Structure 1
Amino acid sequence: MEDMKRTLLSALFLLLCTIVWSQSLTIQGNVTGKNDGYPIIGATVVETRMPTNGTITDVDGNFKLTVQQDAEVTISYIGYQSVTLKAQPQVNVILEEESELLQEVVVTGYTVQRKADLTGAVSVVSMDDLAKQNENNPMKALQGRVPGMNITANGNPSGNATIRIRGVGTLNNNDPLYIIDGVPTKAGMHELNGNDIETIQVLKDAASASIYGSRAANGVIIITTKKGKEGRIKIDFDASVAASMYTNKIDVLNTEEFGRVMWQAYVNDGNDPNTNGLGYKFNWGYD
């Protein structure tokens, strides 16, 4: 009787494994680039509905992954357009380069080039990201968005910000050179309306000195403002409100109480209370 139970359990277990195995599919394939045809190393291959189930391509661009039947897989790589397709035993994928990233235009001072053709250290700031911040000064909004740029604010909401690109370069003025629509200036940008800015580029390498001279020794920030465009009239309205409140209210002295404390302090020190520097005049006598 015991042997029959073991046999039935073993048969059920084998049947269950067969059913589970029949519901899975092992796919293998190769990932290459469209422009050069070379294999893409380190491309990510994941099951679309189960992102935790994935793998990456090897040095030859090959991969192997077990997924569920009728599943979809997504192949992606930085700088290339992602591809999603239905799982098949053999998959060969050709990825296209992300044209928007390569065609992004950068202003370098004397010319306009594609970002893909640049060889210098140039950072392009997305104005859409800056618009999400509730910041009056557009230069303060750049903090943490440009590698190698350090921004220090003075705490005033409408105050100026100190910008250092690649650290301190001289004992004198270390501020970067600002180029606004082709006009150079050394003034801060705290008075500039962020809604009027179309693009911001930051030139950080020494090659910028060949364009703007010694004034560009501390870096260059190129700002292009918005201009009128042909077509229908378009009106944008944007409003935001921010509030800050203290957590704990400090119990402080009023005017009379402060005057009493200051009078007592001067008396304790043996000094005349009317010699204080705050302009308090006491008519109280003391021994």
Structure 2
Amino acid sequence: MFDMKYYLLNNGNKIPALGFGTYTITDEPTLRKVLLQCANSNYELIDTAYVYGNEHIIGKILKKENLLDTFQIATKIWPAEFGREETKRAVERSLKLLKRDYIDIMYLHWPGDDMEKSWKVLENYYEQGIFKNIGVSNFYENHIDKILTTANIVPQINQVEIHPMLQKTQLLKYLKSKNIQPMAWSPLAKADLELFENKTIAALANKYKKSVAQIILSWHISRNTAIIPRTTKEKRVAENIDIFNFNLSTEDLREIEKLDIGKHTSQSPVDEKWLKSIRYEDFI
């Protein structure tokens, strides 16, 4: 057993430091297998999005296995559904598919046109208690500043790509100044060999008698960043959460700092051309 670490959000709520990401996992037997392992391994947060194509599968599995109240659930609104009425429809659909009358975390998935209008919709659901927390995903400083010009509620969370090769130190400082909790998606850089075969990480894995993934995930926790590692292997599900019984030394953390090369494993929020070209149909 272990003692889960929690982060206190700007609204007084808490989220676990580590949850489970479900991006691209759409095979029902596989998803059932890993979600059951999540329950057995004491995970408390499941992250999804409608464009992942698995909200309905997650809702079905959790209801059938009597696990609807076991996890906090996070999902997201895609930019193609930004706008007041469009966002309302997307929200009601997610509630139905996930078989819940509330959602623990609702995000705006990427920056986009009319994101300010959609944020107002999220604020309304939050004020009704239907959303316990609201946040943004893939937002950099300029995107958050734009939201805040009209927002009544500061986002509780910003979920972005962060890992040792893309450390986003300045963004983390900005988020801290706004009291917004950072959360890393792709915290393991999609097992990029440039990271997983790095000599520094390998040496630390040997030193602490932990896996490469556990070293990387512990590094995130040392920076007070929440993480949602994703895997389709039950063994990895159990391994990824087994990181709260050791801490990397200050010297070791400094060595990992040297690995930052600004490398994205997916699209970047600064790629305005891509943001304007993304189509809803491409992700379902």
The two structures have a TM-score, normalised by structure 1, of: 0.20
* Bigger share in strand: 1
* Bigger share in helix: 2
Higher RCO (C-alpha 8 Å, min separation 6) = 2
